[in-house]
Structure 1
């Protein structure tokens, strides 16, 4: 299942915000991603229609199983690639910025090999 990079970023952000705050509203996403509230509202409408999120009457956003699967996959890629870059000597801030760019385009097989190599390096 391939979706747009911006959609992956939205879903990953919902997952991260939920982990930090316990609940997610559109304004939280707008603040996290530095987007306007109207832009986020349009995206959330689209995500509801596509079955990636649900939204309660009081505006709380929840990932569906479909949305959660994508968010967790992207978040894992973000974390693993950042750790791999840091092992190579890249500073933490740069590693996280670069991993955000790489996570969307890297093939599953390449990611799998990076993850496998990192596990060996970290002794896991």
Structure 2
């Protein structure tokens, strides 16, 4: 393999690794963001509510909550509400901010709000910090 082919292969592998890493964080981000939203809206986040909002079973939520507990993002006790740790709250706030930025950026491009909300669910987990900065810069110019 030539140096150019090796460089291209390495760059491609790095891009694919970034996508794989984003997929791993995607579920955690969705959960902590929803837990924060439920706590803000109703004062608590319960397994049954998460399952209903996400369209999954209670068992799926319980398994994911167990993983989030091991990751230090949430705390919970059997048959009790779920709470975010400080780290979980930080992740939830960052996820919410990123989601809102992507939605507003898409709407600034002329995308209707329901489509922007739907599309942001995928984009927000895979967009780089560099691209988010470009979105912020674009939005600041648009406001000014």
| CA–CA distance in structure 2, aligned partners of residues 6 and 70 of structure 1 | 12
TM value normalised by structure 2 = 0.78
Residue of structure 2 in register with 1:33 after alignment = 54
Residue of structure 1 in register with 2:41 after alignment = 20
> How much has 1:58 moved relative to structure 2?
4.8
For these two proteins, the number of residue pairs brought into alignment is 123
TM value normalised by structure 1 = 0.90
SS in 1 for 2:100: helix
Structure 2 residue aligned with 1:101, among 101, 122, 126? Answer: 122
Q: Which runs of 5+ in 2 are unaligned?
A: 1-20
> How much has 1:57 moved relative to structure 2?
5.7
In our comparison, the structure showing a higher alpha carbon Rg is 2
| CA–CA distance in structure 2, aligned partners of residues 105 and 18 of structure 1 | 26
**Structure that is richer in helix per residue:** 2
| CA–CA distance in structure 2, aligned partners of residues 58 and 35 of structure 1 | 18
Q: Which runs of 5+ in 1 are unaligned?
A: none
Indicate the RMSD between aligned Cα atoms, in angstroms: 1.7
